[in-house]
Structures are given as structure tokens and as C-alpha cells.
Amino acid sequence: MFAAVNLEVFDALTEQPRTGAELAAMCGMSVEPLTRLLEACVSLGLLLSEDGRFRNTPVSETFLTRTSPQSLVGYVLYSNNALYQLFVHLEDAVKEGTPRWQQTFGWPAPIFEHFFSTPEKMREFIMGMHGFGLSTSPAVARAFDLSAFHTIADLGAATGHLTIAACEAWPQLSGVAFDLPPVIPFAAEQIAKSSAASRISTVAGDFFKDELPNADLYALGRILHDWSEDRIRHLLRRICERLPSGGALLIAEKLLHEDRTGPASAYMQSLSMLVCTEGRERTLTEYQALLTEAGFARVEGKRTGKYLDAILASKD
């Protein structure tokens, strides 16, 4: 799948079915090796084949083409070009307990300054994360009754997909997408397409050190699993102190089972965090301990049935 996305196979099939020879001519590749890749994609359910012609499945057309609004291409390419390479050194990550960027690429932290070396690369990755968010944020936004809140501020919002989903689901909410300055234009672009656009604004900043926007509901989507315990404690304390009485924090993360037997996808993600970041995945009980220590009074968790689950931590 990574190779086929990188070679733009699915993009070449968006207009019409094509033979291996036609695709090879379009892409400047040899027919037999490309046909072998295409047939492998058929076996994986990513392509269909009929009368010697290949065409996209609905899934590949939706998620693996660059022009789809729900495209995951940027995330797939990041997985191919970065995560796949980092996993080569998984054994060393296990032995040393540190990410593998220096060993794999010769890059010191912070990693994203290198990965976002061009505007095109930044757009590719962020829009891939946007496609991922479209599949998870609506379920997270509806996991709890948010009708009592007035303003949601999504910290590390990326394209603002969680803010957008929350404001579209709860008409009394206004929203703020808060992220680093280079990311804000991507959020503004997606917010403008939303039916709730008039209720959503953007603010640039660093949630570890800059003043947080006023809100009675903060959100963190796939943020906490990136960081060390010390950085998480610092961030959660900042949020709790900023919240008014009765305010809350909505968290979107993949929850491990309490008996630590799964789900497998969460454990594979936790290994990705090991080779890539300072963080890891956690159980609800582990999140409850961190949130309670930060000053939150009540912590609830819900499994959404999507890739990400939801946690709501309330302040007295």
C-alpha cells in the first residue's frame, strides 16, 4: 500500500480503469513489476481487476487518492518515509527507551522542523492528519453531552477538525483552533468550509508556554500520547488552572484495555510512539491518575467504536 500510494497508482486510476501496460506508460515504469504490485493490491482488497484492467475500490478512492477530501495520503507517506524507517530500529528503541530519529536520519529533535522542510511537505502531512480526523472527530465530539459548554478551544488543533466537529454537533458552541503559527492557515482553510465557520476562530500559539485562549471546554486530540509524563503534567496543570469552575477537558486518544491485552492497534501505536516520540498509549486509569493529579475532579472515558476514544475531565 505504501509503495502504491508513493507511486501514485491510485491517483492514476481515479479517472478510469487501466491495464498494467497503460499505467506503466503513464508512470514511466516497467510493465511486469508494476503489474505484480497491482495484483498484490488486488489481493489486499485495495484494487479490483476485470478483463485485465485495474480500478480503485471505494476505500482506496476515498482514502488513498490525493484529490479526495478524506485523503489519508499524507499520513501514509509519513508512515512510509518516516515511521517505516524508524521501525527498523525498534530493538534499539526497546533497549534504550528513546526515539530513533538521530539513529535513522541523523536528525536531532525537534523532528518536525526537519519533516516540514517545505510548505508542500507540511501540507501533505497535515492534510493526511485531517483525513484521519474526519473519521474520528465526529464520534469524539458526540461521546459526551457538551450542551452545557459555550466555548471549546482545541489545543494543537491542526486543521481544526475536532473543533469543527464539536461546533457542528453542538450549535451553542463557539470554537477556537489553537496551534503553532505555520499551521493556522491550514485550519482557516478547513474552517471556512464548515457550516459552523461563523462560530470558529483561530489563535496562534504554543500550548506549553503561551497564554491559552479563554474557554470553558478545552480539547486535546492525539496530543498527550506524544509527550513525556513531565510535559503532560505541565500541560494538564496549565489547562486546569485556566478553566473556570465547571469547565472541562475533552481528550481524544486510543485507550488500552485495563487488563492490558489490547486492542492490538493501540499497542502498535504505542510502539510507534516509542520509536518516534517521548510518549505512549495509556489505559483510562492511567489518564485518570494524571488528570486527578492536575486538579480535575471527575474523569469519564468512553469507547467510540472508532480509532480514537474519548475522555472528559471536569473541574469543580
Residue 225 designated active-site = yes
Do strands 217-221 and 151-155 pair parallel, antiparallel, or not at all (unpaired)?
parallel
- For 147, half-sphere exposure in the C-beta direction (CA atoms, 13 angstrom radius) is 1
Find the angle CA(201)-CA(279)-CA(156) to the nearest 5 degrees: 5
How far is 284 from 275, CA to CA, in rounded Å?
A: 23
Helix segments in the chain, DSSP class H: 2-6, 9-12, 20-27, 31-43, 58-63, 73-78, 84-86, 90-96, 101-105, 111-115, 119-141, 161-169, 184-191, 229-242, 264-276, 284-294
How far is 255 from 280, CA to CA, in rounded Å?
A: 11
Of 150, 161, 225, 257, which is the active-site residue? Answer: 225
Residue 3 CA to its chain's centroid (Å):
21
Burial (CB count within 10 angstroms: exposed 0-12, middle 13-18, buried 19+), residue 105: middle
Helix (H, G, I), strand (E, B) or coil at 107: coil
Of 36, 38, 33, 30, give the one whose Cα is nearest residue 9. Answer: 38
CB-CB contact of 41 with 47 (8 Å): yes
How far is 166 from 79, CA to CA, in rounded Å?
A: 28
Active-site residue list: 225
